Structures are given as C-alpha cells and as structure tokens.
Amino acid sequence: MPITDLLERNSKLYGEEVALVEINPEIREEQRVTWKEYELIQPTSTSYYRREITWSVFDEKANRVANMLMSRGIRKGQKCSILLMNCLEWLPIYFGILKAGALAVPLNFRFTAEEIRYCLDASDSDVLFYGPEFIGRIEDIAGHIKKTTLLYFVGDQCPSYAEDYFRQSSNSSSTAPRILVEDVDDAAIYFSSGTTGFPKAILHKHTALMQSAQMEAIHHETKKTDNFLCIPPLYHTGAKMHWFGSLYTGSRAVILKGNSPEAIFSAVSNERCTIVWLLVPWAQDILAALDSGKLKLEDYHLSQWRLMHIGAQPVPPSLIRRWMEYFPNHKYDTNYGLSESTGPGCVHLGMENIHKVGAIGVPGHGWKTKIVDENNVPVAQGEVGELCVKGPGVMIEYYKNPEATAEVLKEGWLHTGDMARMDEDGFIFLVDRKKDVIISGGENLYPVQIENFLMTNNKIHDAAVIGLPDPRLGEIAAAIVQVKEGMELSETELAQFCVDLPRYKRPRKIIFAPVIRNATGKIDKPKLREIYCGVRLVEKQNNS
C-alpha cells in the first residue's frame, strides 16, 4: 500500500475535517483564512496568521499538482525537488509528486546556491518547486541548471523565468490521476546533512514511507483525536515522518512557522495540540523562559498536551529531568534514526521507559539492532561499538553512488556511524558519532558524555565538545560553553565543577561562545572545528 492511499482514504472518510493548520506568528492574529476562503484567494504562505485546509482539499490540491506535472510531460520515475520553507503548500506538493508516480526530492532550505545545484544534478531532478526566500540562490545558478528543468514558483510576483504554481495548479484537474503507484515503487530521495562534505542522495521506496507512518502511530499511540504540532523543517525526515502518524490516523496537525517559546506555547494552547516534537535547543529555550519568568504556565491552556518527544540529536538527561519538574504529567519519548532509515524510530525509548532517560532505547517496531566492532563482530554487552540497524525502512541505496552504499549497507544492515553500548536491560545508549571520537593520549573520549555532564551545571545553556590538535597528546578536549542569559561563569569555576569528571575526560580548554547548531538541532561540529582549530573538511571527488 503506497503512502498516497492514506491521503485518499482520509479524504473519503474525513473529507470535511481540518487536516492541516498553518500558524505564522509574525503576522497579526486577526488575519485568518478558512479553507473556503483559501480556495478563492490562493494566498501565499506569508500572507496570513492562520490558514487551514481539510482532508478533501488537501487531496484535491495533491491531485492538481499531479495533473499539472503530467500535463508538462513528467512521467513515473522522474524526480521533482522541493525547496520551500514550512508552509501549507508543502505537503500537497509532496503528495502531488508522489501521485504522479514521480519521486519527491526535499531540499534543505539552508543549502547554498552551489549545494542546491549539486543536489538537483545528483538527484536527476526535472522539476523544482521553490519559494520567494530562494529567488537569489536560484538566480545565482540559473545558468547551470539544465534547460529542460521546470521551475515552479510558490509565492506572489512570479519571476519571468518560472511558472506560477498557484495559477498553473488551480487550472489543473482535481480528479485523481490514473497512475498506478505501488508500494515497491521508488518514492523519494532525501539528502544527508552533508557534515562530511556534499550531501548524499538517499533513495527510499513507498514501503519505507508507509512503515514509518505505521511505526509512528504505534510508538506514540496516536489517535484520531490527537493534534500534532510540527515545528521542524518538513524537508527533514524527522518532521515529516512524525507527521505521518497524523496521516495514518487521520488526525489534525499544526505547522508552526516559528520556534520561540511564546509561539510554541500559544500554538499548543490555541490549537489544543496534544503531541509536540521538539529539538534540544527549543526545549532549552522553553526551560530558560520558564526559569526566568518570561513564560508562565498559567497563561496558557496546556492540560491537553500529553506527549513531548525529542530526536535528531543526543538529549542531555538533565534537560528531561528539568522538563518533568515543570510538566510532571507529560509522557516523554526519545526517537533515534537517520535519513538512511527513513528518519526517526528505528530505535526509540518508549513512553513507558522514562526511568531510562539517557538511553536512545530499544529497537523500534519492525526493527533489529546490533552493536559491532571494527571487524563487524558483535561486541559484548556493555562494550562500545558501532550501532547497526535493520528493518523495512532501510534505504535502497545512495542514489548513483555504489561505493558509498557498500560502505554502510552490509547484508541488509545499515551501519550508522554512531558509537553505542547496550546496558544489562537491553537499552541502547548513544556514545558518540564515530568520527567525533577524540583520541587523547591513547584514550578514547566521547564528547557526548562530557557534554551531558556539563549540561548538569545550572548556569550552562548549551555545550559542545570538540577535539583540538595537541603536539603531545594528539588531541585534547575543548568545551564550547554557552552561559545562560543573565548569569556569569568563570573558567576557574567551571574547571572546579569538572573535578567530578575522571581526569582524562576533563576539558583541557574552555571557550565561552555560542554553540552552533544546524536546522535540525544537531551541534554543527564541522563548523566549530573550522572556527576553533582551522580544520575545513575537504570534499572527496566521489562525495562519499
């Protein structure tokens, strides 16, 4: 069963119920629009504070996109890229591409012009949907995009060299296209984060998308009455695959175009959201706002909020303990995954296992795990090795890159590049990225362990640990520490705090500065290394 069947089912069963709501906190709240008004005026994604569409309108819009593409010669198996900020148009375009039998290729909105060009070429994209935020970048590479590429502009004042998405789609048929889409068909190409060079194109079938939808609904016990608040970027597998739980159950979701504590609480309160997925920095910001009194629980309607879950990066246990002090009735889950495993959930903590906070959890629904040494031999329980996962969501391949595929896919097992250990109860703890391990004087230092320790200091807002070159030890651990607003922390005071760490794990250099994170909340360690030790990663010829 392809993922598009779920949308068509929801349209038939829940057609007049609201499927998606978009909230833009930067617009005045009185500027709202219903789906009927939306159909008449076709506003852009920046025009209104609140917009909504029903399941039937969602499905009709996807049909229009599919028929528009097919009328322009796009056929089954061709690739269509999406370069949009989060907006109400994003998901109908994604599903319209799939309904045409084509492959959706979401692009990171932080990509540079050159990275966009690279990804269009690497994925063999024949179509690009893009928004007004990217006009400059697209113009920079216009001469390098193949002339047959269709450009659809999703916004007001369409450039002369592009097609007007709103006009072209509204003039296309809203009936379902007669294209046979099967679950074994290729569905999407997602790009890796590119932290080791240019991103790699990850190929998935409809089978993988469907398993992620079912898994999400099972892991978080998603019901028809739930309302999911989606904040992270939809190009990322994490945000979309968590929303797939809403698609699977026919429940409502809210797309929030902002991540301030006030915007998040307002959306949860006004829209009666029950499930919220946060990135670590947003949870940190919320706690800081609550601690300072800038945010007050009593000002919002939050009693229906039942689940807060986090993924995309290691989660400091101290953060969750502080969270539960403010929200003792919340259920909590940690979700681990990669774009190569169709996003989050191949390993998850489980809402019933909050006593194991700090672990990434156990194998997800339908998944297997193992931890191996450098010779691909399983390590003893408690020992550190590379985490491998196997299940229905493992990628088919790195598209057109057999060498890179062979490095990580071995007998159906995906080698994640993450170092982990398993405790006596079978729970997996993430130790660090394989490439981030610091070897200092012959000892292996795992930055995540040091970062988690630093985050127990109530004066620290965020922390990152990287290796710096050292002539005697090879590398030393350097801590980049971001102090909470309004607080002071000296190097001497922090050094004294670190006395509780084993001597070899103590940071030998402390840098007070902002911690840089990427769009998905992960600490951008390549960028930090570039800043503090002048190490710039050089892209290999084969981009592997």
pLDDT of residue 165: 96
CB atoms within 10 A of CB 475: 18
Core vs surface per residue 159-176: b (16+ CB within 10 A) or e: beebbbbbebbeebeeeb
pTM of the predicted model over 0.75? yes
Query: Which residue spans of the chain are classified as CATH 3.30.300.30?
Result: 443-533
pLDDT of residue 520: 66
pLDDT of residue 536: 41
Q: Cα separations (Å) of 76 from 123, 315, 466?
A: 15, 41, 46
pLDDT tens column, 396-438: 999 999 999 999 999 999 999 888 999 999 999 987 677 777 8
pLDDT of residue 95: 98
Query: Which residue spans of the chain are classified as CATH 3.40.50.12780?
Result: 4-230
CA 185 remoteness from chain centre: 24
For strands 460-470 and 474-483, give the pairing. antiparallel
Q: How is residue 135 written in tokens?
A: 């006009």
Q: Which CATH architecture has domain 443-533?
A: 2-Layer Sandwich (3.30)
pLDDT of residue 539: 28
For the chain, residues with pLDDT lower than 70 are 28-47, 193-197, 312-314, 432, 441-442, 472, 519-520, 534-544
Q: What is the dihedral angle through the alpha carbons of 24, 26, 31, 35, rounded to the nearest 10 degrees? A: -10
Element containing residue 461 per DSSP (H, E):
strand 460-470
Q: What is the largest CA-CA distance in the chain?
A: 70
**Whether 201 contacts 222, CB under 8 Å:** no
Listing DSSP states for 439-495 in one string gives EETTEEE-HHHHHHHHTTSTTEEEEEEEEEEETTTEEEEEEEEEEPTT----HHHHH
∠ CA(158), CA(159), CA(161), 5° rounding?
A: 125
User: How far apart are alpha carbons 168 and 163 in whole angstroms?
Assistant: 7
Classified as helix, coil or strand, 8 is helix
From the list 296, 420, 282, 283, the residue with the least C-alpha distance to 346 is 420
Q: Residue 124: left (phi > 0), alpha (psi -120 to 50), or beta?
A: left
Q: What is the 3-state secondary structure (H, E, C) of 93-118?
A: HHHHHHHCCCEEEECCCCCCHHHHHH
∠ CA(234), CA(530), CA(521), 5° rounding?
A: 25
Q: Assign domain 4-230 to its CATH superfamily.
A: ANL, N-terminal domain (3.40.50.12780)
